[in-house]
Structure 1
Amino acid sequence: MHNHQLCRMSIHSLDDTDRLGRMLAQRLPDRATIGLVGTLGAGKTRLVQSVAAAIGVPEGTATSPTFTLIQPYHAANRRLYHVDAYRVNDLDEFLELGIEELMEEPGAWVFVEWGDRVADVFPDETLWLRIEVASPTQREVTFFGDPAVWESLFSNSL
């Protein structure tokens, strides 16, 4: 996991999560891999649902891919793959999902919950988000990645 901290922000409500999702949907490059790290209930799935909603995936369509492992969404000429690595036993099993092809697919965003479990196969230009529970209603989100790749994402205030 790339250890350059890019930005840190507090989220105080589901509305804040939705705003962060909209910002990511507006600013992510054409192709991106996003590793999501955080405990159960930290808000990883909700953030991906917010990004999906921002690109036009109908509300209620985006669900946690805990059992399917990969949930594809298509909207607004955008492909979003929501991946859950929680139940993956090892890197080989993760790679058998075809994850490398998804990460290289033009026009695709790949969000991987529990990405730290399989970080060795992520591209160097991955954007990492660590979501920490600060209180029942507050989350601290820390962004990590290569500044040369992601600096423009944070050049304007979040």
Structure 2
Amino acid sequence: MAIFPAHSRDLPDPEATEALGRKLAALARPGDVVLLEGPIGAGKSCLARAFIRARLGDQEEVPSPTFTLVQVYNDRGTEIWHADLYRLTHPDEVWELGLDQAFETSICLVEWPDRLGRHLPPGALTIRLNSMGEGRQAVIAGGRPGLAQALADG
């Protein structure tokens, strides 16, 4: 298994988290899986919402998929899957959601990826949001070559 260097970026406020989401949206392509890690309130949904709105427009309604588990959006023929796996009780439930196929053909934003267990897709980009005083720090690793570095660079 390859070890990828981690890069970090300070996010002093919600606007900085949104800016990271918009930057990711500009760089993402089908087959990219983004694993959003961090405790409740870390900014995972904020980042995902900014990503989706950057791709689809600021007026796009982006509800949290906490209860539906997955929301799917269409961006000019590319599906964007936003999954919140907090309520999954077993990793094999990922097959019922269809995420395994989405990982190959869509852009996937996955909150609470630890719920995937052994189904973590190889080559996924991981963004871990950590509390840091009043703001956050994003620790970014994996993904396509150069992607983590590009996101860490302000």
Please indicate the TM-score interval, normalised by the length of the shorter structure. 0.7 to 0.9
Structure 1 vs Structure 2 CA RMSD: 2.2
The corresponding residue for 2:149 is: 154
Gaps of 5+ in 2: none
- Alignment identity in percent? 28
The amino acid that maps onto 1:141 is A
Q: Deviations over 1:70-105 (max 9, x none)?
A: 011123443211001110001111222111011112
Is 2:147 the partner of 1:117?
Answer: no
The 5 A counterparts of 1:44-59 are 44-59=44-59
Three-state SS of the structure 2 residue aligned to 1:150 is coil
- The question of whether the paired residues in 1 share the 8 Å contact of 2:94 and 2:100 is answered with no
Q: Is the 8 A contact 2:6 2:141 kept in 1?
A: yes
From the superposition, tell whether residues 9 and 153 of structure 1 become closer, same or farther in structure 2 (CA, over 3 Å).
Answer: closer
Aligned length: 153
Unaligned stretches of 5+ residues in structure 1: none
Answer yes or no: is 1:133 the counterpart of 2:128: no
In structure 1, what is the Cα distance between the partners aligned to 2:147 and 2:71? 28
> What letter corresponds to residue 134 of structure 1 in structure 2?
M
Change (3 A) 1:90 1:3: farther
Q: CA deviation digits over 1:43-76, x for unaligned, max 9?
A: 0001000001110244361121010000111234
TM-score when normalising by structure 1: 0.86
Q: Which runs of 4+ in 1 moved over 6 A?
A: none
Indicate if the aligned counterparts of 2:141 and 2:148 stay in contact, CA closer than 8 A: no
**d(CA) in 2 for partners of 1:118, 1:2:** 19
Report the secondary structure of 2:137's partner residue: strand
